[in-house]
């Protein structure tokens, strides 16, 4: 089983553990083990296919793994989570590692990335994960639940489009996690009327600077509350 392939990559895992701890995210040895296997699989696939666009393992550890974990302390331990446009599993798989009891759906349109997602779910022996090839704008073709407690969107589309696609799929008091770049605050302010119209409000605003980066990123956790 792929989970046995966990040798090497010690420097990257030390970097991930140290930088995550700086954000009050303390990874256990078993979680580090899973991230090591994940990085190994991702690196091997990336030598053949351009899954992420990143060329070093260190950048993958920071810009993919760590960035995905930023909202982890503020998410529920149980319930259902939909990762829209999951790509190579970000942020859905790292968040699943931290919150193993979250029933997780990984939604992706690209067939090659869907194959990778299925491989990584097998390699990590993750339970309660569904990999779905489909489009968020066509939920009737794949969704079979009444809604999700958490929806994540990273590098998916602009904020108004994310809200229009995802808000209808949220349960009451559900959380929409939107990962945004340096202009995140400005973009959110410009689109407050769209949030209001969809019953969303800002539950958490997480501004942060990733190691090695010069500009802040902003992750917003939006909560659904309709009268």
Question: In this model, does residue 4 exceed pLDDT 50?
Answer: no
Measured CA to CA in angstroms, residue 87 lies from 53, 120, 126, 154 at distances of 12, 12, 17, 9
Of residues 5 and 27, which shows the higher confidence score? 27
pLDDT band at 58 (very low <50, low <70, confident <90, very high): very high
Report the DSSP beta bridge partners of residue 222: 176, 202
pLDDT in tens, 113-152: 999 999 999 999 999 999 999 999 999 899 888 899 999 9
* pTM over cut 0.85: yes
Q: How confident is the model at residue 8 (pLDDT cuts 50, 70, 90)?
A: low
Strand partners, 204: 221
What does the pLDDT look like over 33-54, one tens digit per residue? 999 999 999 999 998 888 888 9
For 203, counting Cβ atoms within 10 Å of its Cβ (0-12 exposed, 13-18 middle, 19+ buried), the class is: middle
Whether the per-residue pLDDT at 6 is higher than 70: the answer is: no
CA proximity to 62, closest of 21, 23, 10, 19? 19
Residue 227 has a pLDDT of 54
Q: Domain extents for the chain? A: 2-224
How far apart CA 14 and CA 116 sit, in angstroms, is 25
* Torsional class of 85: left (φ above 0), alpha (ψ -120 to 50), beta (otherwise): left
Contacts of 105 (CB under 8 A, 6+ apart): 80, 81, 82, 83, 129, 130, 132, 148
CATH code assigned to 2-224: 3.40.50.150
Q: Say which range, 32-46, 61-75, 151-165, has the weakest mean pLDDT.
A: 151-165
Q: What is the pLDDT of residue 132?
A: 97
């Amino acid at each position: 089983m792929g989970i046995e392939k966990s040798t090497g990559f010690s420097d990257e895992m030390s970097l991930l553990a140290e930088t995550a701890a700086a954000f009050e995210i303390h990874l256990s040895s078993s979680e580090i083990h899973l991230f090591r296997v994940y990085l190994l699989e991702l690196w091997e696939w990336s030598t053949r296919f351009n899954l992420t666009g990143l060329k070093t393992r260190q950048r993958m550890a920071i810009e993919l793994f760590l960035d995905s974990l930023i909202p982890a302390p503020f998410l529920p331990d149980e319930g259902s989570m939909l990762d829209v446009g999951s790509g190579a599993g970000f942020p859905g798989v790292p968040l699943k590692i931290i919150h193993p009891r979250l029933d997780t759906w990984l939604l992706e349109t690209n067939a090659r990335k869907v194959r990778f997602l299925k491989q990584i779910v097998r390699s990590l022996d993750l339970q309660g994960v569904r990999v779905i090839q489909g489009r968020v704008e066509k939920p009737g073709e794949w969704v079979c639940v009444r809604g999700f407690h958490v929806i994540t969107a990273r590098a998916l589309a602009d904020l108004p489009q994310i809200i229009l696609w995802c808000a209808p799929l949220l349960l009451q008091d559900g959380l929409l996690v939107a990962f945004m770049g340096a202009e995140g605050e400005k973009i959110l302010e410009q689109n407050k009327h769209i949030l209001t119209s969809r019953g969303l409000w800002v539950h958490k605003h997480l501004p942060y600077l990733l190691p090695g980066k010069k500009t802040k990123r902003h992750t917003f956790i939006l909560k659904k509350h309709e009268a």
